[in-house]
Structure 1
Amino acid sequence: MTARNRRTFDTAFKLQVVQMIRDQGLSVSQVCRDQDLVDSAVRRWLAQYDAEQAGQPGVGKPLTAEQQRIRELERENQRLREDVSILKKAFGLLRPGTEVIQSMIDQWQEKADTARLCRLLGVSRSGVYATRRRRQTPRVCALTTPLQAAFQASGGNYGSRRLCAALKSQGLLAGRCRVRRLMKQHGLKARWKRKFVHTTDSRHDLPVAANVLDRCFNPNAPDQAWAADITYVRTDRGWLYLAAVLDLYSRKIVGWAMAPNMPAELVCTALQMAIALRQPKPGLIMHTDRGSQYASQAHRDLLARHGLVASMSRKGNCWDNAVMERFFLNLKMERIWQQRYANPAEAMTDITHYIIGFYNTHRLHSTLGYRSPADYEKATA
């Protein structure tokens, strides 16, 4: 066993980790597992942050009563949203044809009409009537429940290929044709949307790096080549911009940052997070587009300080950074376009949950043999 190199983290990174736990509702174990951090160190950062917020001697000022009340209300709202989300996801597993929904409709039939009950329960009348007809000759399929559970766990985004892989990981073998038939039978349809928005501004006079990566999207080991890009998220109170860094070896998001605007500092913060977590060796290829943020002096200085090699796509060629573009498309199809965010803070929390709680740890990638980025790194370590 090789000795693990001791890593050092600056104050900005520690604060970012603490905010994930305190403000965005992530658990300490979840953050430590995804970011490869030591549990005791993270808890020490939390204790230090709590001490500073409490205004202990020589550390800072305590919160005012109004600020404390605001934070309590924010935590209460967050708990209510999580409770509602849990109930919705749990109830989503109860599809037409199950005894629970049918019994509930039959019980309340005298107090409300069928159409109203179906609307409240999120089911169709035709499904309810078909279930009543099938009661005489019920047909049980052992794959139905695990198939529905896997579909709901993916947020309603998995198609037949990934559902086959998810069932296989549970020891349940089913062909794609059978899975497609069951999906159609139970109304399981993956939600897909395709949109394109141009966010790269390459009309500048800043230095542009050569395309060193040259579409070599499958390096032989972790931390040999990263890709980065910026995208935007619509909220009811304005835009939110997301900068992300992806390890091409495992397709894992190793760094990200979000802000209501997209200066060079945004992409630098995302890259600093990736460097702090992965501690890459000099020579790593950092591939981006030709945007002014990535061509800025601050970003070039950060690359030079850590010995990273800059690589940029050719002008107007989105295929040179196709892996990063695909991540943003998955993020929007599987999460953002299914939500309506009231403000940037709500969007930041939801996107962070998607990256840490689903994409990095559970989402099955066809490129990785239908394994998640975390499982792929563990299997090839």
Structure 2
Amino acid sequence: MAKNFASQLVKTLEKQGVKRIFGLVGDSLNPIVDEVRQSSIEWIHVRNEEAAAFAAGAESLVTGELAVCAASCGPGNTHLIQGLYDSHRNGAKVLAIASHIPSVQIGSQFFQETHPEQIFQECSGYCEMVNSAAQGPKVLHHAIQLEAENAYFKKIAGLEEPGTRLKVQAIVILKSHHRLEYLLEAAGIPRSTFFYHQKRLNEPDKYAVLKDAIRECFERNKHRYGYRRVLLDLRNQGWVVNHKLVYKLMRQMGLRAKIRQRRPYVSYSGAISHIADNTLDRKFTPDQPNTVFVSDVTEFRVAGRKVYLSPVMDLFDRSIVAHSVATSPSTAFTADSLSKAIAACAPEPGWMMHTDQGFQYQHASWRDLIGDNGGVQSMSRKANCYDNAVMENFFGHLKTEMYHGEVFDTVAEFNQAIDEYIRWYNTERIQQRLKGLTPMQYRNQTLEPLTA
């Protein structure tokens, strides 16, 4: 066992691979300097303690290893602190040894008393006063353990593998510089678990091809698919895979679909005009295409202006059969999208058009457009967004997958993005309720027997 703290300290630094100590010799440092001279560590004499701290910080940043500096009591400590602040800001691994006046003089207002345990607190990750050799092993243990923990958490932040595999990878990289027991304690994994996974690190990843397919699907659809739609897309490509595995692998790879923002429903409280009955009555699954349509208006902020979208959806396959974009939510704006839908779908007499109680849908021009083309008008009940839930759901997908987090410099650029999204929604975005098909695939599949 080491005879004093100076001996304990130097032997511990040797084990940690320290090659040199930067500092100035002084009476209060004599025991440490004497031990250093008898060890493999080199004492590097510098002009002042501030230079010692800067030199240690630079060495640590260049090598990535622990560097050491030392200062004697009194003014030496105050000089040292300047360089330590710089090392602390830069994240350098520096151990600073600041000697103090003899214990019997502490509290006697001795002119060299500086209370180093206080002045070094703000520029240190760990700071402790050692008063006896018996205290030394515990303090050194905590200091070395803290260094290992800091190195571990920095390392896992730069790795991509998740969970236990990530922890084991980090420990394998760091264990040549830090004690394994400290790294295992920082990672919170048992020793046996570490060695079990260490053997498996070099084994080929049996899910490598599946992971590539998952990532390709996720990126091809612009991060809009969660694990359910990724699963359907994989099965459409011929993969035989369980949903739990897709979910687990996507979590491991950090692939998360865009999340919808929730907001409270606010109903319009203006004057009531013509209100149609709720003929649809939440029957959102008609048996034939071109029989039941829903519509609504939603608002966007683009380049400092308000922009409005009015889509028309066929409830049979949830496809957007027509849409209009304008900077004013006028009656002509909504009538334009409905006229496009009628022209594109040519519905048989008796078809239904369902909306909320917006002023555009109470207007005579909207009612006449429906009636003149053999349609029936239906409206949601007041303050009940669930009566038009399918269209509200589409707006949620649209804003999450295309609008939130994006920047559009002009309204024209936004209009182009809307057109591209609706095309993608109709022809490429698979849906669970359509058995993994896109709206157009489902529609074509239904119409094939009728045209054969």
Aligned to 2:313: 246
The one-character-per-residue Cα deviations of 1:12-43 (angstroms, maximum 9, x if unpaired) are xxxxxxxxxxxxxxxxxxxxxxxxxxxxxxxx
> What corresponds to 1:361 in structure 2?
427
Q: Is the 8 A contact 1:219 1:249 kept in 2?
A: yes
- Superposition pairs for residues 138-157 of structure 1, below 5 Å? 138-140=204-206, 141-157=208-224
Q: 1:183 to 1:379 in 2, by over 3 A?
A: same
Q: CA deviation at 1:198?
A: 5.5
1:191 to 253, 258, 262: 258
Aligned counterparts, 1:7-156, within 5 A: 125-127=158-160, 136-140=202-206, 141-156=208-223
Whole-Å Cα distance in 2 between the matches of residues 202 and 306 of structure 1?
30
What TM-score results when the alignment is normalised by the length of structure 2?
A: 0.54
C-alpha distance 199-236 of structure 1, shift in aligned 2 (>3 A):
farther
Partner of 2:357: 290
Q: Is the 8 A contact 1:285 1:308 kept in 2?
A: yes
Give the Cα–Cα distance (whole angstroms) in 2 for the partners of residues 184 and 301 of structure 1: 52
5+ long unaligned stretches in structure 1: 1-123
- Among candidates 261, 272, 275, match of residue 342 of structure 2: 275
The one-character-per-residue Cα deviations of 1:266-293 (angstroms, maximum 9, x if unpaired) are 1101101111111111210100000001
Shift of 1:195: 3.1
Alignment of 1:176-325 (within 5 A): 176-196=243-263, 201=268, 203-325=270-392
The alignment partner of 1:294 has SS state of helix
The total of aligned residue pairs comes to 257
What are the Cα deviations for residues 165-184 of structure 1, in whole angstroms up to 9, with x where unaligned?
Answer: 11000000111111111112
Q: Residue 160 of structure 2 aligns to a residue in which SS?
A: helix
State the distance in 2 between where 1:333 and 1:227 align. 21
**AA at the equivalent of 1:379:** Q
Give deviations 1:285-334, integer Å, cap 9, x for gaps: 10000000111111111112211100000000111001011000010111
Match in the other structure for 1:371 = 437
Q: Deviations over 1:191-234 (max 9, x none)?
A: 10223375763522321110111111000000110000000111
Structure 2 residue runs of 5 or longer lacking an equivalent are 1-156, 174-199, 448-452
Distance 2:418 2:266 in 1: 19
Of residues 315, 331, 337 in structure 1, which corresponds to 2:398? 331
Distance 1:302 1:199, change over 3 A: farther
TM norm structure 1: 0.64
SS in 2 for 1:243: strand
Corresponding residue of 1:47: none
1:343 CA drift (Å): 2.4
Other structure's SS at 1:177 match: helix
Percent identical across equivalent pairs? 35
C-alpha distance in 1, partners of 2:263/2:300?
A: 12
Match of 2:233 in 1: 166
Distance 1:155 1:202 in 2: 38
Q: Which amino acid aligns with 2:335?
A: C
Change (3 A) 1:256 1:200: farther
Determine the C-alpha separation between the residues in 1 that align with 2:331 and 2:395.
19
1:155 Cα deviation from its structure 2 partner: 1.4
Q: Which amino acid aligns with 1:292?
A: F
Contact 1:202 1:315 in 2 (8 A): no
* Contact 2:260 2:397 (8 Å CA) reproduced: no
Q: Tell me, what secondary structure is at the counterpart of 2:404? A: helix
For 1:370, give the aligned amino acid: G
One-letter code aligned to 1:283: G
Residue 370 of structure 1: CA displacement? 2.1
Counterparts of 2:319 and 2:219, CA distance in 1 = 22
* CA distances 1:90-141 after superposition (whole Å, capped 9, x unpaired): xxxxxxxxxxxxxxxxxxxxxxxxxxxxxxxxxx732399699798444242
Cα displacement string for residues 230-251 of structure 1 (whole angstroms, at most 9, x for unaligned residues): 0011112211100010000000
Q: What secondary structure sits across from 1:226 in the alignment?
A: strand
Q: Distance in 1 between matches of 2:205 and 2:333?
A: 55
Letter paired with 1:375: Q
Taking a change above 3 Å as real, the CA distance of residues 378 and 143 of structure 1, as seen in their structure-2 partners, is same
CA contact (8 A) 2:267 2:382 kept: no
Separation (CA, whole Å) in 1 of partners of 2:263 and 2:436: 26
One-letter code aligned to 2:436:
Y
Maintained 8 Å contact 2:427/2:441: yes
> What amino acid is aligned across from residue 160 of structure 2 in structure 1?
G
* Contact 2:236–2:436 (CA under 8 A) maintained in structure 1: no
Separation (CA, whole Å) in 2 of partners of 1:177 and 1:374 = 28
- Secondary structure at the aligned position of 1:256 is classed as strand
Mapped partners of 1:219, 1:184: distance in 2: 37
Q: 2:437 & 2:301 partners in 1: Cα distance?
A: 30
- Residue 142 of structure 1: CA displacement? 2.1
Instruction: Kindly provide the CA deviation profile for residues 320-376 of structure 1, in whole angstroms up to 9, marking residues without a partner as x.
Output: 0010110000101111113122222211110110001x1000111122112110010
